[in-house]
Structure 1
């Protein structure tokens, strides 16, 4: 169930002013578009005035001159000149504003993506991927509407209203004041509709995030969906999310469909009253004056109507901008570290470490103490939820510990510069992540992108992946598909280990790294790991006996605490937690007997 939208969202003006800061880099292009719209808008009263000249010429054809020639030639020439003038203005306004808008959307999209790369882990824990993707795609498109169509209409039609109104004041200011009487009514209607549009837009965007979320989950987990017969369930989920999105969109359309004709009715009532007054108070005005005035007044409803209709587009854009700025305002991953080291020995010490996830009261780790000399292997065992992976995640600072210390080469991990710290730690997890790229680019990823080809080949060989890589159509240059879908689980895991080997870090964290492997693959990997762990501090989280029997120190964890420690033989002799786990084949779900 969704939380009700908050009422403390920033004001429309505040959000729009912030959006305009993204326009500043394009101020020159924006100025050209404004000039274009000024030209276009100023051509509106010209058309009305041309009718005055035309009618005056009809009434007094003899000797009537226009543009230095007779009215017969002058009027057609003037029509063509006005059309040309208006066309130039329209092109400059539309093209250059579109250029600004596309630039703003590109900048916003890149800012969102760049920001995602800097956000802390907890942000991804609390936000589903569907809503994050929807924000970068759908919400930014809504901002495009506010930044192109809306701004175009606001500037072009707004200027048209100003020029037409100015012309009406010039022609007959007393009559024109009558039009001002209906302006407060228009203002109230636009304001109330705008609030409704913005509220509805937020709901539409949330619903769109749900559609993206369900679709991306189903696509990513299609094997589970098919093997467990989840097609009907996922179909029902997607149809419900899509129907909800459709209903919310229709509600907004209904509001708009009622609001526009009501506003038009108010404008035309004012126009009808104005017509009555023109006919009633004709005075000594010429037919040309009256026709020009009526024509100019008749041109007003269209831009006013378009200005009223654009409110929905603007509010969609502002609602989208709200969610975009909310993400951009999220505090990025904290990095107050100052220490940078070229190479570490890998000495690891954990002192009095306590940890709980932000926003929760339950301690996940309590009073953890242990140390590892360079080249030593520390194994963490225990039931699921005992805190093993959390401990491993604190070393590369995926989360921040508030109490206690984690020292690498005698320096607290919090004091290292984040990028430098992570350069010294290689991580291999149970959930292998491969990108839709070649085998070579997946191994030499990120900081490793410039690694020599022979180093990549050595890493492949050391991870016992050469055997299957050589059989691939293009060897190292074979595309592996999205998340390595074209490879088996064991093959993907071996490539992830090859990536860690190529990194050649002094600290190696293996979180269930061999769980996806068959016995044959694990035998190969174990041999490779024995080789790479020499001279490296290795932290292993594993359930397979063969992985941890050779550990220098085994830490048995339960409910966030270390309940036993020692070597494999020492722990078996204790006949406690570890011995019971060992008897069950290190099954993580095995109950501990606290008696």
Structure 2
């Protein structure tokens, strides 16, 4: 059958069959109600398929119209007939997906919350609105005074006995007072709106940051850091700008359109009729062109953001880039994104130039037409020179105001979209229940930990159980080590004890109390101390990094914690001692120094339970010995859970637990497990072979 379809005489039949199947496939996807952007792009593909079927030609459409591997793979099979072209299309798929980076923009704007933000500033907002309306009324009244002055000037020629000073004094004073009032109220509404906008934006930014900090760890597993920072900065800024423009420009423009339109009718119905014929058609055309320009502007802005993300990713991972000599590749990627952004911006500049040129041409044509018809009406005695002047200024006011409203519409859409994304995260409720309130007094705290038939899968991988029926007792004031190969679930056990995630089934207890019943802040802030494989220090002083575990700690407590962590000596050797800045992520320190500062940070809050998550695996042998000594000192009298890859660090543990694929396969002391010659013995043998191979290579 397929051989028959591949013959020259059946190419059209084969094409129609493929197009029919592909069209039905996309129709089924659209029925599943994908997000708006995905739906729009799939609709474009569907339209292309239908057009191809009608014209009996192969599908011809831009790959940039396609979004996701489904659409691109579908189009590739229809567009490319040989294997080399198909491979090229598949290679471009990843680039297209990355550049499109399509997101669902359907986040709803929360008007109720916006009103709550505005309530504390309602009087400032009311004063700003009143000032903006006053400016609009003054702008409507000013042309009438200009017309009066023009009539005075015109009367000088026809009346030789005309006293110019007496006649022009009053209109001139009125006009000056109008200009002063316009300036004063303009300053007032801009100043007041700036205060309201900045205060609302500041509160929104704080609430958004607090909401992000309160989200579950699964949220941070899904979201990109750059996207979160973008919502904190760009989206809030876009909303603030749109809010101020809408209140000031929108109210002023609407008032000026209504007021000036009434003035035009009063001055000359004939000229008004001419204006009403011309203005709507131009406004409609301008609105259409403006919508196209706004769309192009959004595309250009989106492309700029993509270039920024490439730069941000490269700079934040500069050590990895440098280690793999990836500077040229990153520069090329950034250059490609910048060139794409520049092309879009140049297209936007061309469109804006044409739009502005057309607008100026229309304005000048309207001025000429008004003067021509106005001159004719003056010659027949139906209008005075001042009336023509007032009409001309009012007509231009109407046109500018309508154009401003057209442009303002795009700003409103952008602001509502940005505000919707901000409110989406502000209103996001963590799925983890953190309503527990129980605490244990320090002198009553024993530190007995028990995992009871725990089964857990990460929210981002719900089909893969990392732990299965995991049962383990950690006796108080003893050290328990969990070892195993990578991916066996060692670090997951530590994360669950910290309650970074909630388990799917089973129970975890501390002193016979379910950790879900504890106050989460107390559990992490007082009961547990975590020292991870790669401790992250903040870009501040050594003192503040240690004090992070207990912000109200005195300097003596900081020094004592540093001594316990075997860090006081090298810290004192710094030129600025404890006030030395560690740099971003502690880059100014060695791995061993960072780890000992992290130990001091954990020790400072004096937790009854200490979790060591591969705390020495990233260190060299010399640093490992120093840090191991500090850990042994810090662990005295505490319940210790050690997650280890290097078995040499757990030989002295009271209990060693061996994990394999989420299950406990062996338990005992170091000597007991060696005698079994099972998993633990094989791990020791494997590490000894790796150490021997490394020694030979050196």
Report TM bin, short chain. Answer: 0.7 to 0.9
Structure 2 distance, partners of 1:223, 1:562, is: 37
Q: Is 1:53 paired with 2:156?
A: no
524, 530, 550: which one pairs with 1:427? 530
User: d(CA) in 2 for partners of 1:540 and 1:205?
Assistant: 48
Equivalent residue for 1:332?
430
Q: Does 1:508 align with 2:606?
A: no
Paired position in structure 2 for 1:453: 555
Distance 1:567 1:319 in 2: 60
Q: Does 1:9 align with 2:106?
A: yes
Instruction: Report the equivalent of 2:441.
Output: 342
306-315 or 458-467: bigger deviation: 306-315
Maintained 8 Å contact 2:287/2:406 = no
Gaps of 5+ in 1: 590-595
Deviation at 1:370, TM superposition (A): 0.5
Deviations 1:132-184 (A, max 9, x none): 22332333333343133454322333332222123224445676466556676
Q: For each residue in 1:412-440, what CA deviation from the matched residue of structure 2 results, as whole angstroms up to 9, or x when unmatched?
A: 11221211221211101111111111111
**Deviation sequence 1:348-403 (CA, Å, 0-9, x none):** 00011111122431112111000111112121111111111112111111112121
Which residue matches 1:573? Answer: 675
**Cα deviations across residues 285-326 of structure 1 (Å, max 9, x unaligned)?**
441444433432233222222333344444443343333233
* CA separation of 1:122 and 1:235: change in aligned 2, threshold 3 A: same
Cα separation, 2, equivalents of 1:337 and 1:182 = 69
SS, match of residue 557 in structure 1: strand
Matched, 1:318 2:392: no
Among 174, 177, 180, the residue aligned to 1:81: 177
RMSD: 3.4
Distance 1:200 1:559 in 2: 52
Q: Which residue of 2 aligns with 1:308?
A: 406
Matched, 1:130 2:226: yes
CA gap of 1:558–1:61, structure 2 versus 1, over 3 A, is: farther
Q: What secondary structure, in the 3-state scheme, does the structure 2 residue paired with 1:585 have?
A: helix
TM-score, structure 1 normalization: 0.87
Provide the C-alpha distance between the structure 1 equivalents of 2:494 and 2:406, rounded to a whole number of angstroms.
57
SS in 1 for 2:687: coil
**1:519 positional shift:** 2.8
8 A contact 1:36–1:93 mirrored in 2 = yes
Tell me if structure 1 keeps the 8 A contact 2:107–2:421: no
Specify the SS of the correspondent of 2:659.
strand
Distance, in Å, in 2 between the alignment partners of 1:86 and 1:192 is 33
Q: Distance in 1 between matches of 2:440 and 2:641?
A: 21
In 2, the alpha carbon distance for the partners of 1:488 and 1:7 equals: 43
Paired with 1:277 and 1:18, the residues of 2 have a C-alpha distance of 53
Deviation at 1:514, TM superposition (A): 1.4
What is the match of residue 125 of structure 2? 30
Offset, 1:250: 4.5
Checking the alignment, whether the CA contact within 8 Å between 1:131 and 1:209 is kept in structure 2 is no
What SS is found at the alignment partner of 1:293?
A: helix
Separation in structure 2 between the aligned mates of residue 197 and residue 386 of structure 1, nearest angstrom: 54
What's the offset of the Cα at 1:115?
Answer: 2.3
2:467 is the counterpart of 1:357 = no
Secondary structure of 1:540 counterpart: strand
Does the Cα contact within 8 Å between 2:371 and 2:388 map onto a contact in 1?
Answer: no
Equivalents in 1 of 2:180, 2:427: separation in Å?
47
Alignment of 1:540-559 (within 5 A): 540-559=642-661
Q: Structure 1 residues 586, 379: CA separation in 2 closer, same or farther (over 3 Å shift)?
A: farther
Residue 439 of structure 1 corresponds to 542
Query: What is the aligned partner in structure 2 of residue 139 from structure 1?
Result: 235
How do 1:218-257 residues align onto structure 2 when only pairs under 5 Å count? 218-254=314-350, 256-257=352-353
In the alignment, what sits opposite 2:6? none
What's the TM-score once normalised by structure 2's chain length? 0.75
Aligned length, in residue pairs: 584
Counting helix residues as a fraction of each chain, which structure ranks higher?
Answer: 2
Higher relative CO (Cα under 8 Å, sequence separation at least 6) belongs to 1
Q: Does structure 2 conserve the Cα–Cα contact (< 8 Å) formed by 1:205 and 1:320?
A: no
> Residue 213 of structure 2 aligns with which residue?
117
3-state SS, counterpart of residue 132 of structure 2? helix
1:593 alignment counterpart: none
SS of residue in 2 equivalent to 1:584: helix
Output one character per residue of 1:172-212: Cα deviation in whole Å (capped at 9) or x when no partner: 56764665566765775576567656655665555444334
Task: Determine if contact 1:349/1:372 at 8 Å carries over to the other structure.
Answer: yes
Q: Secondary structure at the match of 2:473?
A: strand
Counterpart Cα distance in 2 of 1:215 and 1:8:
24
Residue segments in structure 2 that go unaligned for 5+ positions in a row: 1-96, 692-698
